[in-house]
Amino acid sequence: MYSKYLNNIIVSGLPGIVSILLSFFSIPLYLNLVSADIYANFLIQHFILSMGMFLNLNLGKFASIKIQRINEKIKKQIIFTTISFSFILGVILSGLIYFLIFFISQKTNFINFSSSLFFGLLITTLFINVEFINKGLGYFKISSFLNFIFYGVSLSAPAFFLIVENNEIFVEKMFQISLYIKYFAFLFLFLILIIKKKFILTKINFKLIQGFKNHSKWMTITGIYNQIYDYIDKHLIKINLSSLMLITYSVPQQLAGKLTIFSQSIIAVLLPRLSREKNEVGKKNILSSNLYFFLIIMSFILLTTLPFYDEILIWWLKNSYSGDLLKLFKMFIPLTFLACISSIIISFYEATFHAKKNTRYETLSIIPFILGLIICVYFKNIFLFAVLLFLKEFILIFVRIMSVKNYIINFKYFNFLIVIFILIFTFSFFEYEILSIIFSLIFFTILSINVPYDLIAKEFFKNKKLKYR
């Protein structure tokens, strides 16, 4: 029987799994029913909305940590302060980004500019902060469902409308339809706080504001870096190559990116749990069990299906399939896998108030990364963009693991397993399938020997007899 902790992870992850299914149907519809330029513009508009990931200034994430184990009065002050400042700063920062995009759009073919972008940025900023607060309060089920509506349904829904009404007027309104869905999800999520009487008009908590300044700034700087790492490649491909190249690059990346659903589900539950844990041994057990649990589940899924990736993509995309899509998919899968593990470790930094440490790592890597982008643009090769992203993630994962090695059981074996995992996909990419299979068997053998099963059992299943190490 699984524990309440695992139940919350499952609840957080299930909507994401449904969103994967939606993408399986919606992406082929977009590819077949609208032009490459229109679909590329639609994607770019949503990529811009992702700037809400740093425009929110991590106020909600910080608040979700602070509201653990405090009295109701202070808790309500924190929630009111967080949402109030989120709205004020969201308006200002969304406006600045809006005018920056307007300026860029006048100089390049970057995007078909729309005033809806401002409201989309603002609502994304607010949603992220309010979602963190709801999850910090323990409202995982409804938060996860509305997260699914906000991200999954809003991105996929216009594709299904295209089946019944595929005309020029409707095509131009695809992004607006996405925004209407996002508005609904945010308002419903905000109403939960009002109905539960967690958001009430109260005084501003100025101590919290000081905490924002001291702690959230590091997470925000990291968020800006992540925008560069995660999205600037697609913007550059759109501007310097073509809409078709952007789609070829983005479709396998979108599919591979769905893996983050599983890591984010863990993080949503892990963050408040780690925030409440004061014992160092307890922190080690929590982090180790979650890392190994993710490693077991995801490696099994990804490696057992690896020999069938080409058949899956052919079945899925049909006439839109190409060999480049398969190769990029085999690059983005291990890249995303590494990013997921990194994100779990980063949540450990944030929960233990060491976010500055990750910012330092990101700062050291940003200049080489930008230089790499210049090289990619010069050669106009989408594979180089993927290689650059992979190298960045490959280096940083080991830096982060070493920084928390005292909190990871058998961390040397954990590192070794990651290296083997990458080798498996490298062999498959170059079509050395026999070597890929052999190393897969080696991977699972080492994994089965070194997994801390007792910790996983205690963390994720109701096994009272087992004790933490």
Domain range for residue 102? 34-209
| 282-303 as b/e: b if 16+ CB within 10 A | ebbbbbbbbbbbbbbebbeebb
- How many C-beta neighbours within 10 Å does residue 446 have? 14
> Does residue 344 form part of some domain?
yes
Residue with tokens 């079945």: 315
> Does residue 3 form part of some domain?
no
Check whether residue 290 and residue 204 sit in a common domain: no
Check whether residue 46 and residue 162 sit in a common domain: yes
> Does residue 430 form part of some domain?
yes
Contact 129, 63 (CB under 8 A): yes
Check whether residue 286 and residue 411 sit in a common domain: yes
Closest CA to 351 of 408, 274, 285, 413: 274
SS3 state of residue 2: strand
Residue with the larger pLDDT of the pair 212 and 339? 339
**Which tokens go with 337?**
């896998």
Segment 5-48, tens digit of pLDDT:
777 777 777 777 788 888 888 999 999 889 888 899 899 899 99
**Which tokens go with 51?**
């700037």
Check whether residue 155 and residue 246 sit in a common domain: no
Check whether residue 276 and residue 358 sit in a common domain: yes
The last residue of a domain, from among 187, 209, 231: 209
Closest CA to 176 of 250, 215, 123: 123
CA distances from 250 to 229, 234, 382 (A): 14, 7, 10
> Does residue 395 form part of some domain?
yes
Confidence of residue 113 (pLDDT cuts 50, 70, 90): low
The reported pLDDT for the residue numbered 465 is 43
The last residue of a domain, from among 163, 190, 209: 209
Q: Provide mean pLDDT across the span 416-435.
A: 96
Pairwise CA distance, residues 94 & 103, whole Å = 14
Pairwise CA distance, residues 287 & 408, whole Å = 7
Confidence of residue 2 (pLDDT cuts 50, 70, 90): low
CA distances from 234 to 43, 102, 248, 360 (A): 9, 18, 11, 25
**Which tokens go with 37?**
């330029």
On the CB side of 362, how many CA atoms lie within 13 Å of its CA?
21
The reported pLDDT for the residue numbered 392 is 95
Check whether residue 378 and residue 261 sit in a common domain: yes
Pairwise CA distance, residues 3 & 145, whole Å = 20
SS3 state of residue 468: coil
**Which tokens go with 186?**
């945010």
Check whether residue 197 and residue 259 sit in a common domain: no
Check whether residue 432 and residue 312 sit in a common domain: yes
Confidence of residue 215 (pLDDT cuts 50, 70, 90): low
> Does residue 99 form part of some domain?
yes
> Does residue 25 form part of some domain?
no
> Does residue 13 form part of some domain?
no
Q: Provide mean pLDDT across the span 130-148.
A: 89
Check whether residue 305 and residue 198 sit in a common domain: no
Segment 309-348, tens digit of pLDDT:
999 999 888 888 999 999 999 999 999 999 999 999 999 9
The last residue of a domain, from among 189, 209, 229: 209
Number of folded domains that form the chain: 2
Using the predicted structure, report yes or no on whether residue 463 has a pLDDT greater than 60.
Answer: no
Contact 50, 101 (CB under 8 A): no
User: Cα–chain-centroid distance for residue 324?
Assistant: 24
Closest CA to 94 of 130, 67, 55, 47: 55
Q: Which amino acid is at 348?
A: F
Segment 397-425, tens digit of pLDDT:
999 999 999 999 999 999 999 999 999 99
Check whether residue 386 and residue 268 sit in a common domain: yes
Check whether residue 318 and residue 459 sit in a common domain: yes
Using the predicted structure, report yes or no on whether residue 284 has a pLDDT greater than 70.
Answer: yes
| pTM for the full predicted model | 0.84
Under 8 Å CB-to-CB from 186, ≥6 apart: which residues?
123, 126, 127, 130, 150
Check whether residue 245 and residue 184 sit in a common domain: no
Pairwise CA distance, residues 391 & 393, whole Å = 5
Residue with the larger pLDDT of the pair 67 and 96? 96
The reported pLDDT for the residue numbered 409 is 93
> Does residue 229 form part of some domain?
no
On the CB side of 400, how many CA atoms lie within 13 Å of its CA?
28
